Structure 1
Amino acid sequence: MSLIRTVLAALSAALAGALLLLTAPGAYAAGDGLVRQEVTFRGGGGLVLHGTVLGKEGAPGPGPEPGIVLVGGSGPGPRDEYRQEAEAFARAGITTLVYDKRTVDYSLLHRDFGLLADDALAGVRLLQGRSGVDPHQVGLWGFSEGGWVAPLAASRSADDVAFVVTIGGSGYDPLRTQAWNLTTHLHHRGVGAPFRRTMAGPAAQFMGGTGLFPAADYDPVPVLERLRRTPVLALWGDHDTQVPPRESARILRETLARAGNRHAVIGFVADGAHNGHRTSDGFDRIGGPLFHGKKLGDLAPGYAQTMTSWVRAVAAGHPPVSSAAPAPGQVLDSTPVPAHAWYTWLAPALLLLGFAAYPVTALLRRGPVLRPVRWTAGLGLLAVMSALACPFAVYVAGDGATAPVVWGRPAVWLVVQGLAVAVVVSAGIPAAAFLRGGPAPNRATWLRLAPVGLAAAGFVPWAVWWGVAG
């Protein structure tokens, strides 16, 4: 019986080992000189993340190689969006992890850069534990939103993160950055300055003050000031239209110099878009694979070489000294978003309540309805809601929400301006009748007219401030 038990135990162990081999993720080559391995690891909050580790096929070099973790931009972008960068690093002998961004605790209305930084650091630890990778030479690459996340991760664990590379990172907070992005794209579409001022001014203030724009006030400067010893390579496409490249480069250069960082290199990618890929003007992409039906563009000439040679120099113990390339021009300068104030959200809320009071009281008291006042109330509600909805749609859906553009304005904004005129005209009719000596309303009627009258009076300065009258 003991012999049977021994044989069964041996068979069970062999079967378990075989199943483990079958289910373990294996490395595979695609015939392009690279080896890939699918991996899983636990990021912030214990969330399981999925990624791919890429390395150069063939015998390893004389010593362990550096590693790099790619941190993507905004949105739930899958790893395939950064395949070209990952392959470029791997071909240069830099073991690379690219992973699918989390969709848990990350949404259109919620951002937690700290959680994203935890994900990036978990990726660093994964590479540090791989054979053939120098655990002391694993760094981070961050694109766009990743340009905020990668420095934050490095500032939290300087002993683990050996270097930071960013492309298209902003020196401003997310709200000011997005306002510049939208106004730049609106300018490209032919939208005039009045509507652009609304987007960068009161609309941006409203988005931030109401909490509709996530992480609106995140300030990257204090984080950058903590990168005193970490080598940094910060790049922007010279045709970047999503973050202000000239201003962002100045902020990073001045901040890192103030922090005493002597290995901060500031550069620009010739013919590069926001993502460092080929473009003619920043608004198109030339070549490259399709991603969600749109071209990603080929890597701009020299972009990959600039990054990989810099990483190799850092890993060899010779980080380049600080330098800054001449900055390209910008079509538009960014403007500070006004500080959040109570009137940002309270003013439109009071206007909506004032205009809504008249039809509500008519339903509740079943009293007489004055036609001009009814029109004022209805048009006022529609005008305020439309004036708020139009910029909000642009912040959510992008500049495409403004199409078509007529006379330098989005066609829908022309409708909003027409509604504003109608509100003023409809409010003026009963006011003129009263001034001409018409029948005096009784007290009950006065109480019903007061809210809509005050709303109509307050609508005019609000519409001017909001830009509807521009």
Structure 2
Amino acid sequence: MKRISVRRVASVIATAMAMTLVFATLGWAMMPQWNTRPYTKHIAIASADTTITPAHANIPHEGRYRTRETRLSIKTGDGVTLPAVLREPVDAPGPRPACLFIHGSGTSGAEDFGDIANAMASAGIVTLVPAKRNDNYTVLHRDYPRFAREYGRSLDVLRGISGVDPAKTGIYAESEGTWIATILTSKRQDIAFAILTSAPVFNGREQMAMAVSAYTHEAGAPKPVVKDMAKLMSLDYAPFDLAYADFDADRYLKSLTMPVLVNYGTYDTAMPIEQGAQRIIATANKSGNENVTVRYFAGNHQMRAGEGLFTPNLPLAEGYTQALENWVNGVTAGTKADGWATPQVAGATPHQRFAAPQRTRSGIVGSLGVLAGLMVAGPVLIVMAAILGIGLTVFSWLQTLLAGRRSVATVRAMHATPSGLGAAQQRTLHGIAGLSAGIGTAVMVITGLLYGYMSAVGVSAVLVMPQPRLFAVGWVVLRIATMLLVVLFAWEMERVWYCRADIVGVRRVICVMVALGTLATLMTLAFWGLFSL
């Protein structure tokens, strides 16, 4: 008996090692063949001063005029009317320059951009902030061409305002709105200038891969987790209609042939703050446009003076609105920014940690639908196996009550194990039932730990609350739990094989479901890098 026991232990160990090797190989094959690499081609900053001083010395500055607000309604052309807020400088001589504001993903109301728009109006620039339609705008679906058409109608309204010079009317776009803005500039030749703030610049997947890597790194997640999160950007999102992840930024970026002002906050880890500016400059130069000005401010993604994205009432970064106004008044006065004494690239020193990748090909798991199926399959199969197990137990007890003539112990033994089995085989079958329950519990626990861990990393990244020690310990715990699950599964496989002829009917179905649920869970764990060396 002792020799048999040692042989079976050796069999379990060998099976566990083989499974670990198989899932480590699967994890590598699931890994896309690209990485987000550190960014090293840093942009040259000519001066720390963000001040923009146009060649035209007589331009109006912030606070020169009182401002007046007017509520407007703008028809989109398909029966929808959007509110808008027009801000004008009182008693400013005309014709005046004007600026249309285009929302990013975090704003949508006509009251947004109020402090920026009012400051610009006080410097003699008419501003219009239309609301952005939120219908059919979700995490899963965003129609940028439609937004471009709607903002185009708002631009026509602004150009038609009394006192506005249509030839001096341009756009201000923030974050995701810069994609909309470049579609608009590709369709129209009458846009006098473009201000791009916190611009993603790159295609959706490339941009998000860089942002996710930066966010998770800032959260203090271990290197494998940073790499794992970027992996999501390589998946095919078609089953979930996430088509905007493949937005072709390159196609529209070349339309920036007008004077361009590029602004980034140095605290912004979501954007390619150096790579993006360099790309805009290079693309504009290829089109013969040398009139590109870049400014870096000590601010976050929303150009607020603080690192937290969701901290309320943060003031705008110092000097931000003054730079906007001076630049607009300068380029609309007939001078070119590339001829001014003011440096074209200036401000706080940026430090982009990760480069946006040039390609994002997936591994063998190429679809978000497949990944979601794997992640759901494990727990679902385990729950179904548990329901069948409970049903079998209840059925046994019901037969006990109906039989009457048999004792509870007799019926339990008859239904728990096939008749004619020896004591050792009966103990093995009882052990398999207990082991299956244990594996099912382990699958549910480790699944909960994994999803809880990834959610905690995400929350910490978004709220800028780094927890490096906690995430390092959590990753070790997840890896240990993964190895324990492999050993438990190897143990069950060995016992099932030993008693395979006696596992029939519902018991066989339960064993198969537990096995498939565990395999699906192990494949999920492999995708997330928990088998990586």
**Equivalent residues in 2 for 1:92-171, closer than 5 Å:** 92-159=123-190, 161-171=191-201
Q: For residues 410 and 50 of structure 1, do their structure 2 counterparts lie closer, same or farther at Cα, with a shift above 3 Å needed?
A: farther
Measured after TM superposition, the shift of residue 392 of structure 1 is 6.6
Q: Distance in 2 between matches of 1:267 and 1:87?
A: 23
Q: Distance in 2 between matches of 1:40 and 1:459?
A: 54
Residue number in structure 2 paired with 1:52 = 85
Q: For residues 347 and 164 of structure 1, do their structure 2 counterparts lie closer, same or farther at Cα, with a shift above 3 Å needed?
A: closer
Q: 2:202 aligns with which of 145, 151, 172?
A: 172
Q: 1:271 aligns with which of 283, 292, 298?
A: 298
Residue number in structure 1 paired with 2:438 = 375
Structure with the greater relative contact order (CA < 8 A, sep ≥ 6): 1 or 2?
2
For each residue in 1:214-247, what CA deviation from the matched residue of structure 2 results, as whole angstroms up to 9, or x when unmatched? 61111211101233x3222222223322202011
Residue number in structure 2 paired with 1:220 = 249
> Does 2:353 match 1:331?
yes
Residue number in structure 1 paired with 2:495 = 433
SS of the residue 2:98 aligns to: strand
For each residue in 1:46-69, what CA deviation from the matched residue of structure 2 results, as whole angstroms up to 9, or x when unmatched? 4221121111122x31x4111101
Measured after TM superposition, the shift of residue 364 of structure 1 is 5.8
For each residue in 1:70-118, what CA deviation from the matched residue of structure 2 results, as whole angstroms up to 9, or x when unmatched? 1122134434441221022112211001233322222233211122222
Residue number in structure 1 paired with 2:511 = 449
**Equivalent residues in 2 for 1:2-81, closer than 5 Å:** 33-43=66-76, 45-58=78-91, 60-61=92-93, 63-81=94-112
Measured after TM superposition, the shift of residue 377 of structure 1 is 3.6
Q: For residues 49 and 453 of structure 1, do their structure 2 counterparts lie closer, same or farther at Cα, with a shift above 3 Å needed?
A: same
Residue number in structure 1 paired with 2:482 = 420
One-letter amino acid matched to 2:355: D
Residue number in structure 1 paired with 2:337 = 320
> Does 2:327 match 1:300?
no
Measured after TM superposition, the shift of residue 353 of structure 1 is 3.4
Contact 1:394 1:401 in 2 (8 A): no
Q: For residues 182 and 331 of structure 1, do their structure 2 counterparts lie closer, same or farther at Cα, with a shift above 3 Å needed?
A: same
Q: Distance in 2 between matches of 1:426 and 1:209?
A: 37
Residue number in structure 2 paired with 1:8 = none
Q: For residues 53 and 415 of structure 1, do their structure 2 counterparts lie closer, same or farther at Cα, with a shift above 3 Å needed?
A: farther
Contact 1:175 1:213 in 2 (8 A): no
Among all aligned residue pairs of Structure 1 and Structure 2, give the percentage whose two residues are the same amino acid: 22
Q: 1:241 aligns with which of 269, 278, 287?
A: 269
Q: For residues 313 and 110 of structure 1, do their structure 2 counterparts lie closer, same or farther at Cα, with a shift above 3 Å needed?
A: same
Q: Distance in 1 between matches of 2:167 and 2:377?
A: 61
Structure 2 gap segments, 5+ residues each: 1-62, 393-415, 417-431
SS of the residue 2:225 aligns to: helix
User: Over aligned residues, Cα RMSD in angstroms?
Assistant: 3.6
Residue number in structure 2 paired with 1:190 = 220
One-letter amino acid matched to 1:156: K
SS of the residue 2:133 aligns to: coil
Residue number in structure 1 paired with 2:471 = 409
Structure 1 gap segments, 5+ residues each: 1-29, 286-291
SS of the residue 1:409 aligns to: helix
TM-score by length of 1: 0.77
Q: For residues 348 and 85 of structure 1, do their structure 2 counterparts lie closer, same or farther at Cα, with a shift above 3 Å needed?
A: closer
Contact 1:358 1:374 in 2 (8 A): no
Q: For residues 192 and 295 of structure 1, do their structure 2 counterparts lie closer, same or farther at Cα, with a shift above 3 Å needed?
A: farther
Q: Distance in 2 between matches of 1:309 and 1:218?
A: 32
Q: Distance in 1 between matches of 2:176 and 2:330?
A: 26
Q: Distance in 2 between matches of 1:218 and 1:43?
A: 23
Contact 1:348 1:384 in 2 (8 A): no
